[in-house]
Structure 1
Amino acid sequence: MPPQEEEKITASNGVPPRDRLVTWAEVRSHDNKHDLWFVIDGMVYDVTNWSKRHPGGAKILSHYAGQDASEAWLSFHNDKATVRKYMKPLCIGRLEDGGPKEAEQIKKDFRELRETVDKMGLFKPSYTFFGVHLAHIVLLDVLAYLIIAHYGAGWVPVVLASIALAISQTQAGWLQHDFGHLSVFKTKWMDNLAHQVVIGLLKGASSAWWKNQHYQHHAKPNVIHKDPDIRVERVFVVGDVMPVEVAMKNKKSAPYNWQHLYYMVLTVALVPVYYHIMVYRFIFTRQKWHELVLAVLFPVIFVTSFYPHVGLTKTIAMYVLMRAIESQWFTWATQMSHIPMDIDKDKDKAWVTMQMHATCNVEKSHFNDWFTGHLNFQIEHHLFPTMPRHNLYKATPLVQSLCKKHGLEYTIKPLGEALIDILRSLKKSGQLWQETHSHTWLHG
C-alpha cells in the first residue's frame, strides 16, 4: 500500500489515530466477532472486517475482543516490523487509560524477560537438532518397511512394524508442531512450507486445520468456550466450572462420574476416528485442495508400501494399530500439562498469569524430552511459542524467577505423577458433576 493511501486510512475523520483517545470502557464494548476491537501496546485496533484475512484465523482474534492482546501479539509473531505495516491501517486510536498497575507490572517484567532470552540467543534454532530429529523419523519408517519385507506377513512382524510406525508418527507430530509454531527457519514461508509437507505428506493431516485449532489453544489455554482442546462436554467434563454448568443444564448426559475410567478407552480412538473426521471436514469446507492432495498421498504411500507384502486386511490392521498407539501417546503426553490445571471462563488475565494457571512442566530427562517432544517444558513453550524446543529448558530459571517475584506457582512434576494426575483430575470433575446433577435433578 502506498504511504499516501495508508496515511489517508489511518487518519479517520481527519483525526490521526495517535491523536484520538479511546477509553477502556469503549474498547470493552466492542467485544465480539461482529464488532471487534482490541489493544496492542497502547494502540486501539478495529479488526472487525479484516479478521477473516488473518493468517492465524479469525477466531484467535475474536478471543481477544475488547481486551489487551499485546503479550499474545508479541509471543506469536516473529517478524514484528512486517506485521506492524499491515496493522497500521487498522489503528483507530490511542488508549486513554491503562489497566491495573499490578497487571501492567507483570506485563512490563515479561517484556524484559523476553528481551533477555532473545539476547541469550534462545530464539535461534539448531538445524542439526531438527535434521537429526527428521532423520530418526525416516529411519523408523524404513525400519517398519524392512521388518515386513524381510519377515513377511506374520502377526508378530505386523505388530512390530506398526509400533515402529506409531513412534515415527508421534515424533513427526512433534516435528510438525515445531514448523507450525514458526520456530525452525528464519523466514515464515519456509516454516509454513515445511509444516504443510510434514503434517500433510508425513502424517496425512491439514496444516490450516492444525493452526486454526492450536493457535486458539495457545491464545486462551484452558479457557472455556475459547480453547478448542477443552470443548469436550459431550464426552468429558474438566475443571471445576464445566462439571457444574453441564450438570445444571442437562438432565441426561454422559456418565461423567466414570470418565476417569473410559478416558483410557476413548483416547485410543481420538486420532483414528475424531481427527480423521475433523481434518477432512475442515479441508472440504475451507476448500484447501492442495492440502487434500498432501493428506491423501500419505495413505496412498502407506498402502503401496505394505499391501504387496501383507495384503489388504493386515495393511488396514497396521494402519489402525499405528493410529491407536499414536493416539494414546499423543493424548497422555499433551493433556498431562493442562487437564489437571485451572480451567475456567475468560477472566482477561495477563498473559503470564493465564499461561501459568493453565500449564505445568514435567521433569527434564533425555527420555522425557524425547517422549514429549520437549513439551515437558509446557510453561516455557506457552510463554514463548516460537522458541525452538531444544532451548526451552534454558529459559526455565528466568521464568521461575519471574513467577517468584509475582507470587505465581511454577508447577513441575515427575512424568508418572503427571500422567496419573490426568485421571485424578477427571475423577474429581466427574464426582463434582455427579453431586451437582444429583442435587439438581433428583432432589430438586
Structure 2
Amino acid sequence: MASSVAVGTTEPTLFTRQQLEKINQDVKDGVPGARKYIIVDNKLYDVTDFVDDHPGGADVLLTHVGKDASDVFHAMHPVSAYELLANCYAGDLESAPVAKENMSSSAAFAQEMRELRDKLTDEGYFKASNLFYVYKVLSTLVLCGVSLGLIYKWGHSTLGVVVSAVILGVFWQQCGWLAHDFGHHQCFETRQLNDILVVFLGNFCQGFSLSWWKNKHNTHHASTNVSGHDPDIDTAPVLLWDEYASANYYGSLSDEPGMISRFLAESVLPYQTRYYFFVLGFARISWAIQSLLHSFQEGAINKSAKLNFYERACLIAHWALFTYCTIAWIDNITNMILFFVISQATTGYALAIVFALNHNGMPVISQEKAETMEFFEIQVVTGRDVVLGPLGDWFMGGLNYQIEHHVFPNMPRHNLKKVKPMVQSLCKKYGIHYHNTTFIKGTFEVLQALDIAQQLSLKLSKKAF
C-alpha cells in the first residue's frame, strides 16, 4: 500500500485513514520497504530516509512514527524546522472532524492549550529577555572565577579546597540549567547561536556533551514517563522507578543469569531506598563519562563534522583545565582527591535531586495508554511543580515549574511563573490532575515510588530464584 502512494507529485496525495493504518501495521510487522510516516497538522510526512539525519536524534522521531506528532512538533522545534519538515511532505490525511461537544476532556484540554500557546506567542511570552540571560551567564561564570581563585590562593588549605570544590559543583549545576535553556532554543531564534552557548556552557564549562544530552532529553520530552520510551526512567539496574521497569528487568533475566545480575536482582534492587541518596553523588561523573563515550563513539547528533570537532575539543579542554588547576594549584594528593570527590558529588546531588523531583514518583504510562492520551495531558499528569521562593527558583533553574516547562518547552524560564495560573486554570476546567507540592513532600513521594518498586522487586526476585 505504501509503495503505491505517490510522493512529491504536483497535486497533493490524499491518504485515507485505512491506508495509514495499513502502512503503520507494515512498519510494526517489519515488512521490507514499509515507509515511516508522522502526522503534523493533518499532513503526512515520510521520514523513512530522514530518521538518521534528524537534528534532534533518531530515537525521538521513532517514538512518533505512525502517530499524530503535531503538538510535540510545535512544542519542540524552532521556525527553521518547518523547512526541513516540508522536504518530507508526502500528502494530506483525510480529516476526521470531531464536534467540540463530542471531544474527550483530554482532546478539549489540548485544543485550549493550543489556543493558549498561540495567545502567549502573540503576547510575547516566548521572547527571551536578553538582560536576564546576560545576567545569568555572567553571574554563573563568576562562581567559576571565585572557585578557581580560592584554590589558586588557598590550595594548600583543606578548608579552602573544600569551599572551592562546593562552589565549583554549584557552578557546574547552574551551567546545566543554562545549557538546558539554550538547548531548548529559549533564548535565540537562530538554532546555531543557541548551540554555541550549549557547547560552551555544556561541553567546555560542564563536561556534558550537547549531542548526548539532546538525544536523551528530546526523547524524554516527546514521551515523558512513557515506559520503554522515556530514557530518564530507564535507570536499571541501578534504580527501578515503577512496576513496568521492575517487571521488564526481572523478566529480562535469563534462566541462568550471571553472578552480577543475580546479585543485583536479589541483594541490591529490593533495597534501593537504602542506597538511593548515596548513588546520587555519582550522577555527575556518570553523566560525564556517558558524554565522552557518546561524543567519541556516536559523534554529533546532526552528523556535522564541524559540531563534532567543537564538541570533542571542548570536552577535552574541560578535563584538561580541571586536571591542570587541580595538580598545579593544590599542594598535596589528599586535597587533590578531596577536591575531585567533593566537586563531583556536589554537582551530582544538586542535579539529581532536582531531576528526581521533576517526574519520578509521578504516573508512568504504558505505550498503549499513551496512544489514547493527548500530548498536553501526558505532560501535565507526569510532571510535578515544586513551590519555592526566589532562592529555590535559582537552585532548581526554573525546573520547579516543570509542568509549564513541559507544555511550553521553548518558553524562557523567566516567564514560566507568569503562565502557571493559566495552565492550572485549564487543568481545573477539564479535570486534568495538576500536581503542586513542596520540596520535602516531593522528595518523600520519590522515596515512596522507590519503595513500591523495591517491594515488587523483592517478590519478583523470590519467584525468579
1:7 counterpart residue number: none
Q: CA deviation at 1:289?
A: 3.1
Corresponding residue for 2:94? 96
In structure 2, the partner of 1:4 is: none
Identity %, equivalent residues: 26
Unaligned segments of structure 1, at least 5 residues: 1-9
Query: 1:303 and 1:116, CA in 2 relative to 1: closer, same or farther beyond 3 A?
Result: same
**Counterpart residue type for residue 356 of structure 2:** Q
1:213 aligns with 2:216: yes
Q: What's the counterpart of residue 325 of structure 1? A: 346
The one of 434, 438, 448 equivalent to 1:410 is: 434
Structure 2 gap segments, 5+ residues each: 256-261, 300-307
Deviates most, 421-430 or 24-33: 24-33
Residue in 1 that maps onto 2:459: 435
Q: Distance in 2 between matches of 1:414 and 1:28?
A: 43
Q: Match of 2:290?
A: 278
RMSD of equivalent CA atoms: 2.2
Residue number in structure 1 paired with 2:410: 386
Corresponding residue for 2:282?
Answer: 269
| Counterpart secondary structure, 1:376 | coil
For 2:332 and 2:97, the matched residues in 1 are separated by 62
Matching residue of 2:234: 231
CA distance in 1, matches of 2:190, 2:220: 23
Does residue 51 in structure 1 map to residue 58 in structure 2?
no
1:164 aligned to which of 152, 164, 167: 167
Instruction: After TM superposition, give the deviation of residue 98 of structure 1 in Å.
Output: 3.0
Shift of 1:146: 2.5
Contact 2:17 2:94 in 1 (8 A): yes
Pick aligned residue for 2:313 from 280, 293, 305: 293
TM-score when scaled to structure 2? 0.86
* In structure 2, distance between residues paired with 1:123 and 1:31: 37
**Residues 50-83 of structure 1, C-alpha deviation per residue, up to 9 Å, x if partnerless?**
111111011111000111100000101121xx43
Tell me, what secondary structure is at the counterpart of 1:39? strand
SS class of match (1:12): coil
With normalisation by structure 1, the TM-score equals 0.90
Q: Structure 1 residues 117 and 263, CA, compared in 2 at 3 Å: closer, same or farther?
A: same
C-alpha distance 285-309 of structure 1, shift in aligned 2 (>3 A): closer
1:337 CA displacement: 1.9
> In the superposition, relative to structure 1, how do residues 300 and 12 fare at CA in structure 2: closer, same or farther (>3 Å)?
closer
**Contact 2:43/2:89 (8 A) holds in 1:** yes
Once the two structures are superposed, the pairs formed by residues 35-434 of structure 1 within 5 Å of their partners are: 35-79=35-79, 82-98=80-96, 101-102=103-104, 103-250=106-253, 252=262, 253-254=264-265, 255-272=268-285, 274-287=286-299, 288-311=308-331, 313=333, 314-346=335-367, 347-348=370-371, 349-434=373-458
Question: Measured at CA, do residues 11 and 83 of structure 1 come closer, stay the same or move farther in structure 2, by a change above 3 Å?
Answer: farther
* Distance change (3 Å), C-alpha of 1:256 and 1:152: closer
Q: What is the distance in 1 between the residues matched to 2:461 and 2:327? A: 51
Is 1:26 matched with 2:26? no
Task: Say whether the 8 Å CA contact 2:8–2:90 is kept in structure 1.
Answer: no
Cα 1:30–1:172 change in 2 (3 A) is: farther
Contact 1:172/1:202 (<8 A) preserved: yes
User: Once structures 1 and 2 are overlaid, which stretch shifts more, 130-139 or 191-200?
Assistant: 130-139
Structure 1 counterpart of 2:278, one-letter code: V
* CA distance 1:312–1:222, shift in 2 (3 Å): farther
**TM superposition shift of 1:29:** 2.3
* Contact kept in structure 2, 1:238 and 1:425, CA below 8 Å: yes
